[in-house]
Amino acid sequence: MENQIQILVVMTIYMVLLISWGFYQGRKVKSGSDFAIAGRKLPGWVAALSERATGESSWALLGLPGAAYATGLLEIWTAIGCVMGIVLAWAILAWRLRNEADKYKTDTFTDYIAKKHGEIGKWIRIAGSFTIVFFFFFYVGAQFLGGGKTLESLFGINQSYAMLIVVALVIPYTIYGGFRSVTYTDVIQAIIMIITLIVAPIAGLIYLKGLPEGQAFASSISEALHKAGESYSTMTGGAVLQTNTPLYDAINSIFPNGGNIVKGLGTGVIIAGAFSWFFGYLGGQPQLSMRFMAISDEKQAKKARNIGIAWTIIAYIGALMIGWIGIALFGPKGLEDQETVMPKVLTTVFHPIIAGILITGVLAAIISTANSILILSATELSENIIKPAQKTTLSDKKSLFQSRLITGVLSIIALIFAYILPSNLIYTIVGYVWAGIGSTFSVVILFTLFWKKFHGIPALLTILTGLAFTIIWISTGMEKIITAKLMTFIVAILVAVISTYVIPKKKLVE
């Protein structure tokens, strides 16, 4: 009980400071453009830290350590895929998207694609925005659920009330300051997250070395992985294909009695599935690309690139090590819920006050994702659907009020849905996001930036086909055989290339 009080005090102080900082930054928001994209004037360091806090959310602090705890070295493939995608995005996409956003004076992700492909921009804007708002609407609800579960597990607060607390923490400054408040509060959260991911592994290793023999499962990571078995200690051992699974049956039907072939292909498919997170980072996640687009100039874009890449490499190494330290402390079967490994490691290794500061990183990650997705959904709906349908142009003051109103309404609806819909349904729909939106829009962004022949109709067809394919693929159970993140990316490329050659842009002009 005493530990809980100490952690609660630390988190309360942190949240008060965070909210105050968000409101302070919101004072500088004077127009709809400020609200949507901070007037495209973000310093590089702000854009980089905000993008990383938003991109990792609770994944880096709960999901990835939990996966590393459950699978051992196999999870390195997921980390490699994510890190490579993030590095490429910062190296080749960030400054280009910044320049394009400035050239076309765009305030939203879909607005850029629509203006770039002006011959059918209206339909791209409608299809893209509705799709993003629908899927990310449930994404917001999932963050409310995740935040509620975190507070419930830490303090025993009923999840229903805990969700209200999360909303009360996230919504006010998001409505007030929009994108600017969100990005500047993300900076603090990114710093907390990276401190956690640096300090926790170092302290964990020291703690293990100081324990008397027999008090933990192992005294080091290497010993823990070895004692846990081959499935933990090799980068392929955890991918041994089990019988009586959809993947095994599918491969075995093609290669009957080919044991080595079945095992090899199965292992390859599983590793490819882990690596496939790579594709969603190539410009296809709107909440991340918006950070690129908001950078003030090319010099700042270079600074942002360096910070973003360094943060990513350090964070992923730290997240994996926390999971493996969990194996050493508790054994491979010592935790009922693998995603509690990070808080369990922190509360075991640190004094409650220090643990409270670092556990705040979990709540910070959830909040940074919730407010980023909320502001993205609100601005997509406001700027691309509602405002274009209005007959008169709004003043800056009225435009800002409308954006804030839409943000508030969306947040309330998302909260209601989080209460009334089964959580597994919400998380299922969220599962479509990385493939249906990430892999699909990555193809659209890449071809828009690097292929001059690519134009409006292929872009629209790629968006619609990628989303439809993802829904069908996952709904029919094919996700259990090959991940939709990979398959959607391949299908989207095929549609984009074929339709570009079948429907040349010059025919539209004539």
Between CA 315 and CA 323, with CA 317 as vertex, the angle to 5 degrees is 100
Q: Which residues contact 457 (CB under 8 A, 6 or more apart)?
A: 119, 120, 499, 503, 508
Residue 370 contacts residue 165 (beta carbons within 8 Å): no
Q: What are the structure tokens assigned to 185, written together?
A: 């509060």
DSSP designation for 382: I
306 with 206: CB under 8 angstroms?
no
Residue-wise over 178-207: b if at least 16 C-beta within 10 A, else e? bbbbbbbbbbbbbebbbebbebbbebbbeb
| Among 203, 180, 195, CA closest to 311 | 195
**Could you tell me if 76 and 330 are in contact, meaning their C-beta atoms sit under 8 angstroms apart?**
no
How far apart CA 30 and CA 42 sit, in angstroms, is: 15
CA angle 223, 229, 232 (to 5 degrees): 80
Residue 160 has phi, psi (to 5 degrees) of: -60, -45
What CATH class does 1-95+134-234+295-377 carry? mainly alpha
Residue 215, helix vs strand vs coil = coil
Sign of the dihedral defined by the CA atoms of residues 192, 193, 195, 199, in that order: positive
135: tokens are 């899927």
State how far the Cα of 304 lies from the Cα of 44, in Å rounded to an integer: 4
The model's pTM: 0.88
Nearest to residue 96, comparing CAs of 460, 383, 445?
A: 445
Write out 412-428 in H/E/C secondary structure. Answer: HHHHHHHHHCCHHHHHH
| pLDDT per residue as tens, the chain (510 positions) | 566 777 778 888 888 888 899 999 999 898 888 999 988 999 999 999 999 998 887 778 888 999 999 989 989 998 999 999 999 999 999 999 999 999 999 989 999 999 999 879 899 999 999 989 888 888 888 888 878 877 887 778 888 898 898 888 888 999 999 999 999 999 988 998 899 999 999 999 999 999 988 889 999 999 999 999 888 988 875 445 455 556 556 555 655 655 554 455 556 666 777 788 899 899 999 999 999 999 999 999 999 999 999 999 999 999 999 999 999 999 999 998 888 898 889 989 998 888 877 877 677 677 778 888 889 998 999 888 888 888 777 787 888 888 899 999 999 988 898 888 877 777 677 778 888 999 999 999 999 999 999 999 999 999 999 999 999 998 898 888 888 999 999 999 999 999 999 998 765 443
CB 478 within 8 Å of CB 247? no
Within the chain, which residue ranges are assigned CATH 1.20.1730.10? 1-95+134-234+295-377
Contact 333, 228 (CB under 8 A): no
